[in-house]
Amino acid sequence: MSRSAQRRDLHDPALYINRELSQLAFNARVLAQAEDPSMPLLERLRFLCICSTNIDEFFEIRVAALKQQISFGSAIAMPDALGPQETFKQVRVRALELLESQYQLWNKTLRPALKKQGIRFLMRNEWNLRQRHWLQEYFQREILPVLSPLGLDPAHPFPRILNKSLNIAVVLKGRDAFGREGHMAIVRAPRSLPRVIQLPTELGDGTLGFVLLSSVLHEFVDELFSGMQVKGSYQFRITRNSELIVDDDETEDLADAIKGELRGRGFAQAVRMEVADNCPKVTIKFLIANFQLDETDIYRCHGPVNLNRVSAVYDMIDRPDLKFSKFTPRVQPRLAAAASVFDAVREGDVLLHHPFDSFTSVLDFLRQASTDADVLAIKQTLYRTGTDSPLVAYLIDAARAGKDVTVVIELRARFDEEANLSLADRLQEAGVQVVYGVVGYKTHAKMLLVVRREAAGLRRYVHLSTGNYHASTARTYTDLGLLTCHPEIGDDVHKLFHQISGLGSMIHLSRLLHAPFTLHTTLMQKISREIAHAEAGVPAAIRAKINHLNEPQVIQLLYTASRAGVQIDLVIRGTCCLRPGVAGVSDNIRVRSVVGRFLEHSRVYWFANNGDSEIFCSSADWLDRNLLRRIEVCFPILDPPLAERVYTEEIENYLADNQQAWALQADGQYQRVVAGTAMPHLAQNALLAKLCH
């Protein structure tokens, strides 16, 4: 290593990748799944829609924040030194490229490929007379009665447009019955209307025929304006700032404050307008003036502006040959053989690797606890749980059975706030003690504690997880869960619940690490320990699998570790602000991203520790918000066989993937990993083969 490289300032902005651009790069990798011809066709369509939905959220949160910073005149730059204005410019360039790729894929590849498989998305110029007649009757019967067109004039100002709703701008000519001169009208598509309409089988000419609602509205919009001439109709869609702003210092009732914010979320400041590519400039100018947008906020779409709604057909089409093969998650043999989850856990810790291990084991744990006469108390954190989760029913059953039930509900789980408010009300009505966490610190930890009276005294049974208590996402996200009755872990979890629900000073935990107190500092200490081993000539290594990395102090210490000779392998699904492979700085760091059938969501940290390796699972990514501004939990895997299993399945397995892995380069670009002469290895498929039926 040259002396200049050794002396390079680790605060150098060139050593950091912009967070927003990294997030868009992740969405490009998601889109690459849709572009991959080896993927089942309907799964490719689903990945296209996932990419579209991800970008929606990116604008609602990340771009909205950038625009606010720009409007406030903020000059604060991230470690990469890009200020809000420059970041916004680069984001727009990349977002436009992604938009072009999405519609190119939809129009030139996926629609024709689906047509070959007998699945047709029919544009207006492709309707035959019988199809048009049926669609016109459908419009008059099912659509027209719920539409409320609004002609724009001094008595009818521009309407409020709901976030991400489908709208049609209609250009009119002529006079109506009152003698009013026609100019412009807005037709809003109510959310109660299906965005994809399936044609009757007999009209499909031997194929499955689908028509988008936007096409039907365009074709028959003139029926809404009798006697007027429709000069043109153009679909558009507005994306708004969806971040809830709650002043923690001024808020006396968090639930009421969030309810108030939710009422205005759908009509918050606009940040993007998607519009049909054939919309005239004069109409666009009129629209953006009403939404207080600029030319740089316009995104022209070469197809439906609500492309993500096409995903509805996935469940409408019974074509197993065009989807991933179904699988049956396994129930852990020890859990299946035991009379109860309690009996199985007393024999030893149980590791659950979802979705390969069934989430029903977690449901069974809570169900049995709710009816077991020896269970005295249940405590659980809920972040995202689903509207009809059986977990909620079990908690209510437990409370009604006289057990002490406490639930920590995070009201600020983004886009689940309304569902969580409703959930809180339902639980409280059943006698559950509901806690909203700690003001200013989002509760992101995943913990379930059951206190049971047994012959030897009270015993604490615990479930800790990297993912949410959500039965649906447990089938599509990879996550790790631990069932244990280890006394020290049980005591730690109990202390954490007391800290969240009550008031008190700092607590000491024996086994768990928790943010915002010990997780960040201990992570730094463990990295520093590997540095000391490397400097002493001892082989040193760090391996981790996380979703995101942006915390500057962690990145700088990883650079220092690389310089010292620590071998660092990171599997980071999404955002990564660290640059691997920079000469003299990160030569010993490798970063890869795996995007596949399941969303990689588990977090695992492994440290070589001079032959006495340690492995942890956590709810926390290596983001500044997770490590410093949230309530998170990191738990060790103490049982050696289970620790080996986590390392093999989550670290070795994913580092060996050469089918769906991408390697991050020093220039910030991702390159697809190719098998070359090596045997093909797809990590998720390997786990399906190993653990499922």
Q: Which residues are catalytic?
A: 444
Contact 304, 214 (CB under 8 A): yes
- State both tokens at 45: 């369509």
Q: What distance in Å separates the CA atoms of residue 485 and residue 475, rounded to the nearest whole number?
A: 26
For 25, the token pair is 């790069």
Strand order in the sheet with 270-276: 150-151, 184-188, 167-173, 229-240, 270-276, 298-301
Q: How many Å apart are CA 538 and CA 541, to the nearest integer?
A: 10
Q: 59 near 272, Cβ under 8 Å?
A: yes
What is d(CA 441, CA 248) in angstroms, rounded to the nearest whole number? 10
The pair of three-digit structure tokens given for residue 638, joined into one six-digit string: 């103490």
CA 542 – CA 532 distance, rounded (Å): 13
Instruction: Give the CA count within 13 Å in the CB-facing half-sphere of 577.
Output: 25
CA distances from 54 to 25, 206, 307 (A): 12, 35, 12
Instruction: Read off φ and ψ for residue 632, nearest 5 degrees.
Output: -130, 160
Please list, residue by residue across 172-193, b when 16 or more beta carbons sit within 10 angstroms of its beta carbon and e when fewer do: beeeeeeeeebebbbbbbeeee
What is the C-alpha to C-alpha distance for residues 603 and 601, in angstroms, rounded to an integer? 7
Question: Nearest CA to 22 among 467, 593, 520, 629?
Answer: 593
